[in-house]
Structure 1
């Protein structure tokens, strides 16, 4: 049998794919998920021996990681906003920046309560839900809200439904293409609409890690070079018709198009557009009011 320390040594072979800090984080996550040990315990007891079954699983995981496949897809699960989410190649892996967007939405929703101590009971719509991480996290924290979510991918919606069940919340999932939204789809007007739509250009793709470009779903990532704001235009137009008066539109954005996205919203009649930076100091989120 091998020890936890041995696994960290073996996983150093990932240096052709990842930087040192990433390797350590990936190794820690793999050991924790496969052994069931807490990360604190793993760090505290590096000489602990692992079972033969755990050892074999860790070796198999290492082989997959060497191809560039993300650890989250290999394990089939990840954490987002303190909740577990199933992930697979039909959905994007939730990012920490998106947690910041959820936090912002929750803080603003808290200011819209009719009476102090009451709960937000409005309608929320998440466009391009993927794994359902935004919609489910909001429903978990705003249990009295009515949350709906749209996605073009039926496979993504199946994963999102499984995640809603996993986290014991009810979300209304709808199969639809926001670029060609069916007029027959009837939804109540929403107090809040959110979207983290595709926004990566082909030029951006050149700078991205292959574990993203080779494994994560391209329909959820890339936009035409000649029209990088195509989804923002369509969603803004949809929001104009489907937000309540004084309703809020939240976007996660491409940092290179922050000011352009703000201008787009202002030109369409939104007001008080606020551009916010993420934890890394990059323009990453926008809030606007209709």
Structure 2
């Protein structure tokens, strides 16, 4: 299943997505997931048999396809990325949070804060949680708790991150978590089918890494996180960025592409 979230007549709507001739199309309306309470309430006032016209995603006003209670990110989860920033490989997953207020839709503009002299892109594969997950045991299948996957750009004010010594402010600014365009369970990076994360800056490839190179694989991450933090439906887990991160300037465009998940494209401007 693939789906998107979009704005129609001022209301968030959901639609199933198919690929047609290399393009992603919204082809059928679907019920909102349980965590998007506003959309669920709005759906109660809509006729169940309302007509839906298949539409290319490019023609929709896309929203972030997730409404998480929290965004739990993994730092330095690719060896080469840790090395390029002069850091040691972590012995355990390095967790940090982005607030939900940092979410940004595909096509939206990242606002670079005036306080920062360097803002970086970081393309990532992200897990979307499908059901409540706490203390996941070795005997349990992590797939039972994963709704699907999406794309995230973990935008970072690198100088603020370094000066603060912890990462909340440097990574938590409004608009610093572009996500989308879809959520899909039709890729399988958990069971030995790695995906490639490709990031382009103004059309030039800057990152091209495989989830086969993750230091901490996805199943390990779910067990590690859920041992201390209960994961709720819709929660978002960006899983780390490959080597090749770098700064952006006003007017730049960044595209993060993962086969099966489409392309997350956003522009950057001064705050």
TM-score for the superposition, normalised by structure 2: 0.23
Higher strand share: 2
Bigger RCO of structures 1 and 2 (CA < 8 A, at least 6 apart): 2
Higher helix share: 1
Of structures 1 and 2, the larger Rg is shown by 1
